[in-house]
Amino acid sequence: MAPVKVKKICCIGAGYVGGPTCAVIALKCPQIQVTIVDLNQARIDAWNSPDFDLPIYEPGLVDVVKASRGRNLFFSTDVDKAIQEAELIFVSVNTPTKKTGVGAGFGADLHYVESATRRIAAVAQNSKIVVEKSTVPCRTAESMRTILEANCKPGCRFDILSNPEFLAEGTAIQDLFSPDRVLIGSLQTQEGKDACGALASVYANWVPNGRILTVGLWSSELSKLAANAMLAQRISSINALSAICEATGANIDEVSHAVGYDSRVGSKFLRASVGFGGSCFQKDILNLVYLSESLHLPEVAAYWRQVVELNEYQKSRFSKTVVDTLFNTITGKHITVLGFAFKADTGDTRESPAISLIRDFLAERAYVTIYDPKVDAEQIWQDLAEANPNLPLELIKKQVTLAPSALEACKNKEAVVIATEWKEFKEIDWQVVYDNMTKPAFVFDGRLILDAEKLRKIGFRVKVIGRGSQ
């Protein structure tokens, strides 16, 4: 296949990865037509909404879409037309952890990847470059290539590339504007290298050549899992130390600050919290566990499994701290949870620690009031129903209330739990909160964002993750 000059790009999947990534490509490459397609009509309607009420909250995303939509950026449910017209196709569909069958609870569900691949093979009339953008197990590209080659039309050729995303929700647009690296994996054949060069030329419109890394196909696929696993490992490591700090009276902020000064370690991802969440970390580590077991490497599998187990321990340990501090029972007590998204500056709730905390509080028969500035009510009820399968939603709604503001959420409550590090929670008028709470009033900071001494002077009893009792 001769080197391709990319003029039209199709992205299958309008979610957290495909939407922002291809919107930025459209912004930075005005000469390329970018069409993002999805079978979910409501999602596409939201991307096309006149008031830019997008289906994803990400700082800066609205400005990117405003600058390009209708010029060279389009959102559509016409998947076939977009496939036919594009020279390069991103496959950016969901790859959740399997819930049933072989590998349930660990392996990735590749149903959507396979469906998209089969659709490309059925529709394409000429040769295409197909790019894995979803996070997938190592050697998924081989399966995709087998499907494409077995079903392609005469004269069609498909080259498969791996181009994993390394975006952090909340800073995704900045990550796309100025990435640490763009990783492109290809077969080390001439055709594979030519396809790699075609995709690299797209990114070269704004990414310095030194940050565009080209590697083998399998190395690229594994690098994504490895990067997320090692970042999650750092979080679980500092969270494990936070438990020791609480038991000894040490301060996890001081410990992480001192450790982070070591140039061999660095300061990033050394902030203790109630636990990590999101769509990637747990899923990718479990995928790595499953891969290790499939390769008959049980010790390696056990090592990575412990990262996830420690994260679950951190969440349950924090909820137990709330119960123990509130005189060993929260039955019938009213608790506010501030934050439902898994982190600040996103509306994503996947694997959010808040869900686990609230599940534990409901099991103790507490009443919970929730406030989050970006997560809508429908998403909260859906997540709580999934987390409490033995509890009918109508019963959950008898124990859980959704509040329109942080101040309203805290009125007449015994305790406030910080579950997400939204900036506005730092700026609440905590004197007003205290005046309107049941006494004694407790605050549990699971994100290390509050001035504990200031709160104690107001009158609060404060528990901060990773800090021993005063």
**CA angle (108, 114, 118) in 5-degree steps:** 175
Q: Which of 207, 222, 242 is the last residue of a domain?
A: 207
Residues 70 and 157 in one domain: yes
What is the DSSP secondary structure assignment for residue 3, as one 8-state letter? P
Does residue 258 form part of some domain? Answer: no
Residues 165 and 31 in one domain: yes
Catalytic residue IDs? 280
SS3 374: coil
User: Across-strand partners of 355?
Assistant: none
Does residue 316 form part of some domain? Answer: yes
Find the helix or strand (DSSP H, E) in which 160 lies: strand 158-162
Q: Which of 149, 181, 207 is the last residue of a domain?
A: 207
Count of the separate structural domains present in the chain:
2
Residues 66 and 203 in one domain: yes
Residues 178 and 307 in one domain: no
Residues 293 and 429 in one domain: yes
The residue type found at 98 is K
141-159 b/e (C-beta count within 10 Å ≥ 16 → b): bebbbebbeeebeeebebb
Residues 287 and 190 in one domain: no
Does residue 241 form part of some domain? Answer: no
Residues spanned by the domain of 457: 281-464
Q: pLDDT for 265-305, tens place per residue?
A: 999 999 999 999 998 899 999 999 999 999 999 999 999 99
Residues 288 and 182 in one domain: no
| Token pair recorded at residue 2 | 């001769």
Residues 202 and 285 in one domain: no
Q: pLDDT for 49-98, tens place per residue?
A: 999 999 999 999 999 999 999 999 999 999 999 999 999 999 999 887 87
Neighbours of 425 (CB within 10 A): 22
Does residue 234 form part of some domain? Answer: no
CATH number at residue 178: 3.40.50.720
Residues 167 and 84 in one domain: yes
Does residue 443 form part of some domain? Answer: yes
Does residue 242 form part of some domain? Answer: no
**CA angle (248, 254, 260) in 5-degree steps:** 125
Residues 59 and 161 in one domain: yes
Q: What is the pLDDT of residue 329?
A: 97
Q: What is the pLDDT of residue 470?
A: 54
Does residue 226 form part of some domain? Answer: no
Residues 18 and 131 in one domain: yes
Does residue 228 form part of some domain? Answer: no
Q: What is the pLDDT of residue 159?
A: 95
Q: Which of 207, 232, 257 is the last residue of a domain?
A: 207
Q: What is the pLDDT of residue 1?
A: 45
CA atoms within 13 A on the CB side of 208: 6
Residues 84 and 177 in one domain: yes
Q: Which residues of the chain have pLDDT under 70?
A: 1-3, 470
